[in-house]
Structure 1
Amino acid sequence: MKQGVVFLFLSVFYFTGSAQLSKEKIQKVDALLRSYGAIKQFNGNVLVVQKGKPVFSKSYGYADFEWSLPNDKDTKFRIGSITKQFTAMLIMQLKQQGKLHLDSTVTTYLPWYRKETGDSITIRHLLMHTSGLKNYTERPDFRYTLAFSNLDPRAFAEKYCQLDLEFKPGTKFKYCNTDYYLLGLIVEAISGKTYAQALQEMILDKVGMKHTGMDSIASLLPKRAKGYEYGFYGYENATPINMASSTYAAGAMYSTAGDLMRWQKALEGALLLNEVNKKIYFTPGLGNYALGLYVTKTKDGKTVIGHPGGINGFASFMIRFVEDSIVVILLDNTAAVRRVSLDNISLGIYSIMMGISPETPKTPVAVALTETYLQKGVEAMTARYQAIKLDMNYDVSKANTHLNNFGYDLLTKRRVKESLMVLKLAVQEFPESANTLDSYAEALLADGQYKPAMEYYERVLKLEPGNKNAIDQLEKIKILMN
């Protein structure tokens, strides 16, 4: 469900040449995916479709690392916010049937919803992320509380989605999962069915998507991939959340690459919507956002349509290069979207198909340092950083964040000496980062080094006068030293 800035990279490229996929290009696509896999940036399924036919289909890595079960073409992945395309389609089908109007308000269909906001937000606002509502998934307690909720969707929305407005509806674009959660409830209110039933009957059965549905933490689903995170200590099991309640119509679906190819064909055809409503579905508004899809143009005027998805342990990306009739579908069960956007892989594949050499992927600093730490320990890791920080083959743009977070994680695990080594490196490299200085000061304090801790808290205050934590900690140290 998590999403970032997508398609912006396309605005700086011109694509010319043939899009035929020869044996040589197939080998190059495979080599590209293997290179991303080698640096822990891809583990999953790839499907490339040209003119409605698959031209490249391959699985990489494992669906279950613990049992060494490989991904294959039938592996089911959670697709996160790609769900929004389906929710938008259900709304448009109800509109096509004359059962709703896009410019009617939320309270027209959800009379229980808070009137002072619901009376000013239309269905169109929800579809295009211009409602002005706050995003419930940005709540501090979402990750640790709401994500595990077992409430039914209406009860969840009554408790967590009746939020204040951040701006006047229709005036700005802000990606908001609250919008699509409410759309799911509107589908239920109008259809008289659960969201899952409406999805099955109105879309999945019609399209022939037999390996797609709404995920449930309780269900036994054959060939469902397990989700993993790549963190400070390598791959770990992702926390299993209750998607049916916490993400619902905004991001709770699972699917396969083959089923998403069928979905893409249905979107391009006339099976689900007539031409008038298809035009509405694909017409972008603010933020280049249409209905559950981003729609943008490259510098040479080509149209690109797609959407990313991210949910605990999973990342997905489906993108269509319209004029070249190329679709790239990527499904990953190691949360790659949190490390490098899958749009870069898609761009690399498209470049190869157009006869252009793709950019060589750079190894993220987090991966390079983690692998060194696991094999040789913290001293070797800090030495490795010095060796790679100016190496163009590595992406060190997030080095400060990684070093600080890793050092602090070691501190919370009471591995104080290791924490000090990592955080000392961090403050040497990033002396103007107040957060990093604060972390190092805390580690020094935990090690009983009171005077050095005071010095670093004082440096924090020079960068951020009034920093409450630094002030409080300095008072604490003064008491400890007396």
Structure 2
Amino acid sequence: MKKIITCLFALVITSAFSQTFNTKRLDSLFLLLEKNNKYMGSIAISENGKTIYTKSIGFDDITASKKSSINTKYRIGSISKTFTASLIFKAVEENKINLNQTIDRYFPTIKNAKTITVSNLLNHRSGIHDFTNDPDYLKWNTQPQSKAKMIERITAGDIVFEPNTKGKYSNSNYILLSFILEDIYKKSYGEILSQKITKPLKLKNTYLGGKISIENNESYSYSLAGKWEKESETDISIPLGAGGIVSNPTDLNLFIENLFAGKIVSIEHLNEMKTIKDKYGMGILEFPYFERKSYGHNGAIDSFRSIAGYFPSEKLALAITSNGMGYDNNSILLCAFSSYFHKPFVMPNFNTVSITAETLEQYLGTYASLQIPIKITISKKENTMTAQTAGQPSFSLEPTAANIFKFDAAGIVMEFNAEKKEMILKQGGKEFLFKKE
């Protein structure tokens, strides 16, 4: 599902900051989401280092009816990469590592290790395959893995391209960076994170995760398939600094504010982190909108989804962490920033229609597109239609018309034409034509 569903950080911002923040609009959205049981998570917005809005809805543990609060902690997935990149640059400033050194001294068995540099790992230009794309990944991701086993798994994959010839996102890069940090400092990744970042910044809710602890104000994650279903837990020995950190929105805002203030690494090194090649910086992604640019990262692990972003010119930070999505995080961002910049926003409509099983039957099958290299299988479970891409979990589609279905968690709309055996997928303002095989 991750190949189709990406957090599209699409914020349209065209006006200067207004002194009044429209809290009622954002409150109304969360009230609507809570009323329709569409979302669980937390948000925090900060300006000039001061929190101007926080909100939390849903449950840390549905079975125990433990409601979430602004103190709830979530797995933040790949936002962890921004922390890891910062730690690497701190190591550079301590003269413990050089960005241009090759990784063969750490990982002699990895293909092209003599030409892959630390810099290539940081900006996804190594050509090392992403082990999370392995067909059997979901068969072992809940089991502890040793460093040796993870290196073995990463080494076993084919080279995707020659080092530094292009960029392609790979979690493997940041697993290896985590191991390099442990080798440099002779400490565990969690200890390094605490010593170098979380303790100095007093990020009391941020640390390398472990087994989820509800007693420690952590949350389980849930997928929505008619009802909330508890998701399995990826063992943190696997993602480490690529996706294993736990945090909450307030801490994430504090982290990114300090990063851009030059209080974690130097401004010179921050500028290196912000330099984009083939879509990727070094632990930072760029999100340009008209004359403005924001920087940050998104994250996904199990059914947790998160986004952290920062607009330097406005000194505006926003973070969202969710443990259950039936509504797109990007749409919440749009509402948040429309509330800040006083731009229009249309509230979602969660009304659905009833579709007969006979009508659903005509849409079932596998669809392929010439525009994007994926296939989508449309199936029926009882009287609910589901969609699934190869190797990914299925997700339920809600009908809004006899031939139109939606998946709010990813902002996806599918429009079917049974006579032509076609389906148009709409997401993020783009349309893709699929033909039934």
Residues 107, 40 of structure 1: CA spacing in aligned structure 2 closer, same or farther, 3 A cutoff?
A: farther
Does the 8 Å CA contact 2:253/2:318 hold for their aligned counterparts?
no
Alignment match, 1:303: 293
Q: 2:93 aligns with which of 81, 93, 96?
A: 96
Alignment match, 2:189: 195
Letter in 2 for 1:213: Y
Per-residue CA distance 1:8-40 (angstroms, 9 max, x = gap): 634xx4511433234xx1111111233344454
Structure 1 stretch displaced more, 40-49 or 133-142: 40-49
Letter in 2 for 1:46: I
Alignment match, 1:353: 340
The alpha carbon displacement at 1:74 in A equals 1.1
**Partner SS state of residue 332, structure 1:** strand
The alpha carbon displacement at 1:220 in A equals 7.2
Alignment match, 1:15: 14
**Partner SS state of residue 351, structure 1:** helix
Does the 8 Å CA contact 2:356/2:383 hold for their aligned counterparts?
no
Q: For residues 221 and 83 of structure 1, what CA distance do their matches in structure 2 show?
A: 23
Alignment match, 1:479: none
Q: 2:175 aligns with which of 168, 176, 181?
A: 181
Alignment match, 1:121: 116
Alignment match, 1:373: none
Residues 308, 430 of structure 1: CA spacing in aligned structure 2 closer, same or farther, 3 A cutoff?
A: farther
The alpha carbon displacement at 1:408 in A equals 11
The alpha carbon displacement at 1:297 in A equals 1.7
Letter in 1 for 2:46: V
Does the 8 Å CA contact 2:297/2:307 hold for their aligned counterparts?
yes
Alignment match, 1:240: 233
Alignment match, 1:329: 319
Q: For residues 168 and 346 of structure 1, what CA distance do their matches in structure 2 show?
A: 37
Does the 8 Å CA contact 2:72/2:219 hold for their aligned counterparts?
yes
Give the alignment of 1:49-88 within 5 angstroms: 49-88=46-85
Q: For residues 29 and 218 of structure 1, what CA distance do their matches in structure 2 show?
A: 29
Q: For residues 197 and 186 of structure 1, what CA distance do their matches in structure 2 show?
A: 14
Does the 8 Å CA contact 2:234/2:301 hold for their aligned counterparts?
no
The alpha carbon displacement at 1:250 in A equals 0.9
Does the 8 Å CA contact 2:304/2:322 hold for their aligned counterparts?
yes
Q: Does 1:32 align with 2:29?
A: yes
Does the 8 Å CA contact 2:130/2:171 hold for their aligned counterparts?
yes
Letter in 2 for 1:91: I
Per-residue CA distance 1:213-234 (angstroms, 9 max, x = gap): 1111276751111211112x41
The alpha carbon displacement at 1:6 in A equals 5.0
Please list every run of 5 or more consecutive structure 2 residues that lacks an aligned counterpart in the other structure.
Answer: 364-374, 387-398, 406-414, 424-434
Does the 8 Å CA contact 2:249/2:321 hold for their aligned counterparts?
yes
Q: Does 1:250 align with 2:242?
A: yes
Does the 8 Å CA contact 2:39/2:327 hold for their aligned counterparts?
no
Q: For residues 238 and 98 of structure 1, what CA distance do their matches in structure 2 show?
A: 42
The alpha carbon displacement at 1:90 in A equals 0.8
Residues 130, 359 of structure 1: CA spacing in aligned structure 2 closer, same or farther, 3 A cutoff?
A: farther
The alpha carbon displacement at 1:135 in A equals 0.9
Q: For residues 310 and 8 of structure 1, what CA distance do their matches in structure 2 show?
A: 14
The alpha carbon displacement at 1:284 in A equals 2.0
Does the 8 Å CA contact 2:212/2:218 hold for their aligned counterparts?
no
The alpha carbon displacement at 1:131 in A equals 1.4
Letter in 2 for 1:67: A
The alpha carbon displacement at 1:64 in A equals 1.6
The alpha carbon displacement at 1:171 in A equals 2.0
Q: For residues 202 and 73 of structure 1, what CA distance do their matches in structure 2 show?
A: 25
Residues 83, 433 of structure 1: CA spacing in aligned structure 2 closer, same or farther, 3 A cutoff?
A: farther
Q: For residues 420 and 381 of structure 2, what CA distance do their matches in structure 1 show?
A: 18
Q: Does 1:205 align with 2:199?
A: yes
Alignment match, 1:446: none
What is the root-mean-square deviation of aligned Cα atoms in Å?
Answer: 3.4
The alpha carbon displacement at 1:401 in A equals 5.8
Alignment match, 1:269: 261
Residues 432, 118 of structure 1: CA spacing in aligned structure 2 closer, same or farther, 3 A cutoff?
A: farther
Q: For residues 261 and 54 of structure 2, what CA distance do their matches in structure 1 show?
A: 23
Identity over aligned residues, as a percent? 23
Q: Does 1:155 align with 2:155?
A: no
The alpha carbon displacement at 1:65 in A equals 1.5
The aligned length equals 388
Q: Does 1:406 align with 2:400?
A: no
Per-residue CA distance 1:26-83 (angstroms, 9 max, x = gap): 1111112333444544211111111211111111122221222211111111111111
Q: For residues 347 and 233 of structure 2, what CA distance do their matches in structure 1 show?
A: 33
The alpha carbon displacement at 1:157 in A equals 2.0
Residues 219, 67 of structure 1: CA spacing in aligned structure 2 closer, same or farther, 3 A cutoff?
A: closer
The alpha carbon displacement at 1:153 in A equals 2.7
Q: For residues 219 and 158 of structure 1, what CA distance do their matches in structure 2 show?
A: 30
Letter in 1 for 2:135: P
Q: Which has the higher strand share?
A: 2
Residues 70, 326 of structure 1: CA spacing in aligned structure 2 closer, same or farther, 3 A cutoff?
A: same
Q: Which has the higher helix share?
A: 1
Does the 8 Å CA contact 2:80/2:241 hold for their aligned counterparts?
yes
Does the 8 Å CA contact 2:357/2:383 hold for their aligned counterparts?
no
Per-residue CA distance 1:272-300 (angstroms, 9 max, x = gap): 2122212212222221x21212113212x
Q: For residues 422 and 25 of structure 2, what CA distance do their matches in structure 1 show?
A: 44
The alpha carbon displacement at 1:183 in A equals 0.7
**Partner SS state of residue 101, structure 1:** coil
Does the 8 Å CA contact 2:129/2:170 hold for their aligned counterparts?
yes
Q: Does 1:164 align with 2:158?
A: yes
Please list every run of 5 or more consecutive structure 1 residues that lacks an aligned counterpart in the other structure.
Answer: 370-379, 390-399, 412-421, 436-461, 465-482
The alpha carbon displacement at 1:136 in A equals 0.4
Alignment match, 1:417: none
Q: Which has the higher contact order (CA 8 A, sep 6+)?
A: 2
Does the 8 Å CA contact 1:181/1:250 hold for their aligned counterparts?
yes
Letter in 2 for 1:303: K
